[in-house]
Structures are given as C-alpha cells and as structure tokens.
C-alpha cells in the first residue's frame, strides 16, 4: 500500500514558504526605494529559471527515482534560501531565487507524477487531496505571515522563518516519501493482475473501462494550456500588484496577507469542487469562470476599500480554483494515457512562464499607472474567454460513460 501522506506534507510546506515570501517582496523592496519594474523582476524570482527547468530536467528526472529527484530539489532550494540570513541585497536575492527555480524543476513534476505513476491509485481522490494540501499550505503561509508581521512589525522576519519550512520538507522527503511503483495499462503487472487475481476481476474491469474512457475523450493540448494561463494571470498579477496598492493606500503590511488569505481560501474550496467535477462539464464551466474574471478585474483597479478587496478576492479565488483544478486533471489524464510525466513538466513550465512575465510587465506598467495594469490584464482575459469558448464548442469532447469511472 502506497503512502500518500508524505506527498500531502511535501505539497503543504513548500507553498507555505513561497506564499510568505512572494507577498513580502513587493512591500519590502518598495520601502527600500526600488523602482516598480525592478521589483517586478525580483518578484518573478524563481520563475526566471522555473520557466525552463521542468522541461530541461525532465529527461534527467526520468532516469532517477521520484524520491531522489525530490530530495535533490529540496536540498538545492534550502541552500539557496540560506542567503536570506546574511543579506537581502537585490542582486544576491535574484541570484538566490533563480537557483531555487532551477531546483524546483525537479520538485513539482515528480510530486504530481507520483500520483499518476500507478493505475491502481485512486487518482481523482488523490488529486483532490493534493490540491487541498498545497492550497492549505498557501493559506497557512498567509496566516503565519500576517501573525509574524502583526507581532514583530519587521518585514525581514518573513525571510528568516520561511527557510525553516523547507528544512522540515527535506526531512520528510528523506525519511517518509515512498517511491511509487509504476504500473499502467500496458505493464506486465496489470496484465498478470487480470489473469491471476480473479477475486478482483470487478476492479480490473473497472480499470479497463477507465482505459476505454480515456480513448473516447478528445481535447487539444491548447485547451488545458489556456486554462492554466487563465489561472496564472489573475494570481500572479494580484500577488504582485495588491501589496504595492495596499502600500500606496497606507494599509498595514499584515493586512495584505489577510486579504490574499481569503482569495486562497475560496480557491481551495473551488479546486476541491473541480477535482470531483464530472468530466462532461469540463468544456462549459471554465469559460464561464474566465468571463466572471473579466467583469471583476477592472473593479480592483478603482477600488480603495479593504473589505471590498476581500469580497473581490473571494470571487476571483473561486474562479481560479476551478481553472487550475480542471487543468491539473486534464494534464494528469494525458500523463496516464501516454505513460509519461512530460505533461506535468509542461504544466509547471507554463506556470513558470506566466508567473515570470506577469510581474515583470506589470511592474513596468505600474510605474506609469498602477490601475491601468488591471485594465490591460482585463483585455487579455477577454481574448482568453473567446478562445476558450470557441475551443469548448468546436474542439473539446468530454462525453464519456455515464458512470465516469475516471479517477
């Protein structure tokens, strides 16, 4: 029996670390007097390298065990963040985050692929738990960040506490992560299972039906790619722009973590819904979510009330959670259909690209006019909405069996 709980822990602490750091970077360096464009580059940090590292390291990753890849990754990331204890110089900071992005290329693709490696894993349930885990990690990071800033009123404290979470993860990876046994519909083990395990024949038939359902589904790769972009644009822009806007509105730094906490909370809840959603709804609901984002995003630009920000973030989180939850399931399905983890690497690289470009471009625009950044992002979401709408009616077909046994 494969242990999933170490994956749950590993998917929890890293986002907790990342969430704490990402929100404090714009506030800290804005107070240090840096230009918004430069702050955008610093905020992009890990994504400078993470844009390419999952794909470039994919072949290397396939030659070694999942556990080995995760341990190498966490060791490199932890060592890179030790720089925070000595200096937060912008140049050394960006070097540290770039090194972290390289090692991250071995982390998330292997953690995700450990779920889809074995056809006997309950993929839908494990995917739901996986999504809960990293969302809880983000929530925990925001709460811890708010608490630390409220008590100590020292922005640097975030940079000192965050690396400790990576050390905990490294210990869990070394001591508890269990290498999954790779079994797919073409493997010898599965064929022997059908022949010899007569008492479990019902389950074998169920898995066979699962295979047939996979072959019946039809969607172009661009569809989940656009869903990921629809998730990344709002999240990356808000993570960067809202801390700056809150600083200009003279909100206390700890309130930034509280506001984004509600976005992450609604995102987690909607992501659980997406993890359990029936496949036949995958081509209808995502375009609706992007349409809602188109309506909400301009309001963020003109709003100046803290409570209104919380309400807006609750709505945005509900939309982004659906978009990411659906896209993750589609990429994992592609992994299982072709018995490869390259689609997890593609997913992570797309995340890297958008989280890289968005804060950098937003920083340049924000230096001219902060609110206009939200309006430009809205226009991009409009284009995305129509592209998804066309694909959902013309190119996407999720009409599978009524029982929908796909995990």
CATH of the domain at 306: 1.20.1250.20
Cβ proximity of 166 and 41 under 8 Å: no
- How far is CA 352 from each of CA 19, 220, 233, 264, 283, rounded to the nearest angstrom? 15, 21, 11, 19, 25
pLDDT at position 192, please? 60
- Please check whether residue 281 lies inside any domain of the structure: yes
Q: Which two tokens stand for residue 255?
A: 């309130």
In 3D space, the residue among 27, 15, 80, 19 whose CA is nearest the CA of residue 49 turns out to be 80
Residue 405 exposed, middle or buried by CB count within 10 Å (0-12, 13-18, 19+):
middle
Domain count, the chain: 1
DSSP state letters, 186-250: TSHHHHHHHHH-GGGHHHHHHHHHHHHHHHH-B--THHHHHHHHHHHHHHHHHHHHHHHHHHHTT
* Amino acid 209: pLDDT: 46
User: Looking at residue 404, what is its pLDDT?
Assistant: 45
User: Tens-digit pLDDT profile for the chain (407 aa)?
Assistant: 789 999 999 999 999 999 999 999 999 999 999 999 999 999 988 888 888 888 889 888 888 999 999 999 999 999 999 999 999 999 999 999 999 999 999 999 899 888 877 766 677 788 878 888 988 999 999 999 999 999 999 999 999 999 999 999 999 999 999 998 776 555 565 556 555 554 454 455 455 445 545 556 678 889 999 999 999 999 999 999 999 999 999 999 999 999 999 999 999 899 888 878 887 788 889 999 999 999 999 999 999 999 999 999 999 999 999 999 999 888 877 877 766 667 877 887 888 889 889 999 999 999 999 999 999 999 999 999 999 999 988 887 766 544 444 44
Tell whether 276 is covered by a domain.
yes
Tell me the C-alpha distance between 403 and 209, whole Å. Answer: 10
- Domain presence at residue 187: no
Instruction: Return the pLDDT at 286.
Output: 92
How far is the C-alpha of 254 from the C-alpha of 145, rounded, in Å? 7
Q: How far is CA 27 from the centre of its chain?
A: 23
Structural domain contains residue 45: yes
Tell me whether residue 128 is in a domain.
Answer: yes
For residues 46 and 81, what is the distance between their CA atoms, to the nearest angstrom? 11
| pLDDT attached to residue 126 | 85
Q: Tell me if 39 sits within 8 A of 366, measured CB to CB.
A: no
Q: How many whole angstroms from its chain centre is CA 181?
A: 25
Among 95, 117, 3, 78, CA closest to 41: 95
Q: Is 95 helix (H, G, I), strand (E, B) or coil?
A: helix
**Domain around 30:** 5-181+194-394
Q: What is the dihedral of CA 124, 165, 87, 259, to 10 degrees?
A: 60
- The pLDDT assigned to 399 comes to 60
- Cα(309)–Cα(314) distance, rounded to whole angstroms? 9
Secondary structure of residue 324 in the 3-state scheme: helix
Of the candidates 122, 219, 111, 124, the one whose C-alpha atom is nearest the C-alpha of residue 169 is: 111
User: What per-residue confidence (pLDDT) applies to 212?
Assistant: 42
Q: Is residue 318 part of a domain?
A: yes
Half-sphere exposure of 100 (CA within 13 A, CB side): 26
189 in any annotated domain: no
- Is 331 part of a structural domain of the chain? yes
**Contact status, residue 177 vs residue 6, Cβ threshold 8 Å:** yes
């Amino acid at each position: 029996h494969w242990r999933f709980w170490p994956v749950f822990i590993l998917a929890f602490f890293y986002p907790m670390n990342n969430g704490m750091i990402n929100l404090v970077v714009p506030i800290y360096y804005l107070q240090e007097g840096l230009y918004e464009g430069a702050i955008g580059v610093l905020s992009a940090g890990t994504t400078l390298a993470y844009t390419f590292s999952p794909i470039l390291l994919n072949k290397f990753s396939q030659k070694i065990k999942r556990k080995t890849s995760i341990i190498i990754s966490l060791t490199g990331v932890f060592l890179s963040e030790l720089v925070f204890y000595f200096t937060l110089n912008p140049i050394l900071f960006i070097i540290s985050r770039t090194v972290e992005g390289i090692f991250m290329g071995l982390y998330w693709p292997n953690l995700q692929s450990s779920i889809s490696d074995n056809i006997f894993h309950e993929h839908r349930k494990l995917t739901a738990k996986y999504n809960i885990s990293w969302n809880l990690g983000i929530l925990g990071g925001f709460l811890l960040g708010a608490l630390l800033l409220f008590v100590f009123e020292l922005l640097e404290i975030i940079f000192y506490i965050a690396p400790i979470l990576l050390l905990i993860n490294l210990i869990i990876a070394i001591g508890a992560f269990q290498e999954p046994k790779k079994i797919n519909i073409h493997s010898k083990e599965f064929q022997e299972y059908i022949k010899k395990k007569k008492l479990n024949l019902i389950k074998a038939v169920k898995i066979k039906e699962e295979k047939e359902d996979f072959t019946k589904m039809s969607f172009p790769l661009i569809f989940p790619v656009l869903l990921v972009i629809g998730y990344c644009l709002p999240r990356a822009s808000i993570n960067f722009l809202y801390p700056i806007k809150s600083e200009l509105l003279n909100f206390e730094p700890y309130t930034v973590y509280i506001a984004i906490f509600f976005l992450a909370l609604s995102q987690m809840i909607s992501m659980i819904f997406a993890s359990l959603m029936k496949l036949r709804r995958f081509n209808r609901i995502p375009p609706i979510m992007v349409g809602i984002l188109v309506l909400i995003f301009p309001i963020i630009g003109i709003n100046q009330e803290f409570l209104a920000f919380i309400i807006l973030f609750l709505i945005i989180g509900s939309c982004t959670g659906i978009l990411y939850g659906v896209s993750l399931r589609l990429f994992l399905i592609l992994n299982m259909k072709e018995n490869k983890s390259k689609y997890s690497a593609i997913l992570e690289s797309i995340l890297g690209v958008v989280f890289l470009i968005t804060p950098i471009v937003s920083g340049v625009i924000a230096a001219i006019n902060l609110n206009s950044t939200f309006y430009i992002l809205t226009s991009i979401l409009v284009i995305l909405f129509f592209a998804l709408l066309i694909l959902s009616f013309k190119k996407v077909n999720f009409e599978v069996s009524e029982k929908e046994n796909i995990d």
